[in-house]
């Protein structure tokens, strides 16, 4: 009984650790997820870049929609600077039909996404990273040996629903800091968004 | 329209009241779905030391949109619109453990020092599960 209890206790601890997700400074694990073009995309495909802007986002969320043009603009501005965007949709399509894979394909085609829009079917990546909402940004930088480190977590900027009222470009400032070999400040911000629709 | 401080000041209120503060927005479907459950809870405790406040995180300039939305709803609880812009400022000020997703709900019982924060969706029964013990 004592052993059983300690097993239960240990598994509770590891669950709560998992729920924590990444902090700035952590090494980000690789992922291999299906893109809207049907091909698989891995984080390690980007080993030759300076880094990757990983954005957990989706079709249905009003905050994600409000940020969509800004995400497209980020890729246009930063892919050539060595920081391309990789978008990941973690939502359970049974809970939100608008976030189903065919709808992701439609959306990416309609808006002319210049970056991968991946589906995290098992939600393992969202859980490991610690994403809780859409949109939720993780700025990763390569370490030169094929590994990636988290340099910034949180919001794209300070004006979720109004692109014209942005005063603080948190993510762009973080990219500039990383490019300059400095630590982003703030390195973490709180982003508002829609709760990730977890699998039952 | 209220400031973040107006919300957090409820925690130090002198009233022996259970405050349930629900954060929502007009464009948040799961928020709108659960609002009637919060209202039903408030109706259930209407003669007791219970106070429900809906706090909208819509943009301040959307005040009229929030008003129009509320006119169509059968919600009698107090509703505030947060007069703040940057979520990175108001989210941690309201609740350090709030990751930023909505719906979110804060429960204060200042008399006993009780405080709880929930970043999840509720049903009427799951609301009773957390509030009933505080009302006993």
Of the candidate ranges A17-21, A50-54, A157-161, B112-116, the one whose mean pLDDT is the lowest: A17-21
- A interface mutation test: which of B87, B89, B121, B122 has the most A CBs within 10 A? B87
pLDDT per residue as tens digits for the range A55-70? 999 999 999 999 999 9
Range A80-83, long-range pairs (CB < 8 A, 24+ positions): A81/A50, A81/A175, A81/A179, A82/A49, A82/A50, A82/A51, A82/A179, A83/A49, A83/A50, A83/A51, A83/A52, A83/A53, A83/A139, A83/A175
For residue A19, what pLDDT is reported?
Answer: 52
For residue A11, pLDDT over 50 is answered with no
User: What does the DSSP assignment read for A16-62?
Assistant: HHHHH---TTPEEPP-EEEETTS-EEEGGGGTTSSEEEEEE--SS-H
A167:B100 CB<8 A: no
Q: B47-56, pLDDT tens digit by residue?
A: 999 999 999 9
- Would you kindly state where each structural domain of chain A is located, as residue ranges? 22-195
- Residue A186: asked if its preceding bond is cis (omega within 30°), the reply is yes
- In total, the C-beta contacts within 8 angstroms joining chain A to chain B are 66
Interface contact flag, A161 B100, Cβ < 8 Å: no
* Residue numbers in A near B85 (CB within 8 A): 158-159, 165, 167
Distance (Å) from the alpha carbon of A47 to chain B's nearest alpha carbon: 30
Mean residue pLDDT across chain A:
92
Q: Which pairs from A109-112 meet CB under 8 Å and 24+ separation?
A: A109/A36, A111/A68, A111/A72, A112/A72
Check: CATH 3.40.30.10 for B23-122? Answer: yes
A22 close contact with B: CB closer than 8 A = no
Residue B15 reports pLDDT greater than 70: yes
CATH class of A22-195: alpha beta
pLDDT tens per residue across span A130-150: 999 999 999 999 988 889 999
Tell me whether strands A193-195 and B101-102 are parallel, antiparallel or unpaired. Answer: parallel
Give the tokens for residue A54: 């990983």
What is the distance between the alpha carbons of residues B36 and B52, in angstroms, rounded to a whole number? 12
Q: How many CB atoms lie within 10 A of CB B58?
A: 18
B 35-64 near A (Cβ less than 8 A):
57-59
Identify the residue among B28, B58, B69, B86 best suited for mutation to test binding to A, counting A beta carbons within 10 A and taking the highest.
B86
Using pLDDT thresholds of 50, 70 and 90, give the confidence band for residue A12: very low
ipTM: 0.82
Q: For A81-91, how does the pLDDT look when each residue is reduced to its tens digit (9 = 90+)?
A: 999 999 999 99
For residue A155, which residues of chain B lie inside 8 Å, CB to CB? 87-88, 100
Tokens encoding A130: 């610690």
User: B4 in contact with A at a CB cutoff of 8 Å?
Assistant: no
**pLDDT reported for residue A146:** 84
**Chain B interface includes A189 (CB < 8 A):** yes
Mark B108-135 as b/e (b = at least 16 C-beta within 10 Å).
Answer: bbbeeeeeeebbebbeeeebbeebeebe
Which of A132, A160, A194 shows the shortest C-beta gap to B87? A160
């Amino acid at each position: 009984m004592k052993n059983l209890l300690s097993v239960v206790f240990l598994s509770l601890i590891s669950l709560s650790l998992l729920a924590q997700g990444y902090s700035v400074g952590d090494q980000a694990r690789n992922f291999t997820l299906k893109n809207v073009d049907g091909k698989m995309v891995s984080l390690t495909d980007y080993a030759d870049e300076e880094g990757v802007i990983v954005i957990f986002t989706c079709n249905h969320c009003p905050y994600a929609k409000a940020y969509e043009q800004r995400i497209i603009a980020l890729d246009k501005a930063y892919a050539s600077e060595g920081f391309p965007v990789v978008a990941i949709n973690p939502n359970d399509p049974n809970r939100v039909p608008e976030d189903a894979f065919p709808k992701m394909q439609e959306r990416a085609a309609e808006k002319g996404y210049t970056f991968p829009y991946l589906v995290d079917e098992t939600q393992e990546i969202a859980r490991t990273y610690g994403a809780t909402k859409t949109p939720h940004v993780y700025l990763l930088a390569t370490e030169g040996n094929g590994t990636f480190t988290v340099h910034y977590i949180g919001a794209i900027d300070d004006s979720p629903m109004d692109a014209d009222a942005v005063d603080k470009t948190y993510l762009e400032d973080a990219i500039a800091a990383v490019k300059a070999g400095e630590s982003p400040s703030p390195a973490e911000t709180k982003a508002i968004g829609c709760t990730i629709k977890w699998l039952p | 329209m209220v400031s973040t401080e107006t919300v957090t000041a409820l925690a130090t209120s002198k009233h022996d009241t259970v405050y349930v503060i629900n954060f929502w927005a007009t464009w948040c479907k799961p928020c709108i779905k659960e609002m009637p459950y919060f209202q039903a809870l408030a109706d259930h405790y209407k003669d007791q030391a219970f106070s429900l406040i809906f706090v909208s995180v819509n943009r301040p300039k959307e005040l009229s949109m929030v008003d129009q939305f509320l006119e169509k709803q059968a919600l009698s609880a107090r509703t505030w619109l947060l007069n703040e812009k940057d979520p990175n400022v108001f989210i941690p000020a309201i609740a350090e453990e709030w990751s930023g997703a909505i719906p979110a709900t804060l429960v204060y019982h200042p008399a006993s020092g009780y405080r709880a924060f929930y970043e999840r969706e509720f049903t009427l029964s799951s609301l009773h599960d957390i509030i009933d013990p505080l009302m006993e």
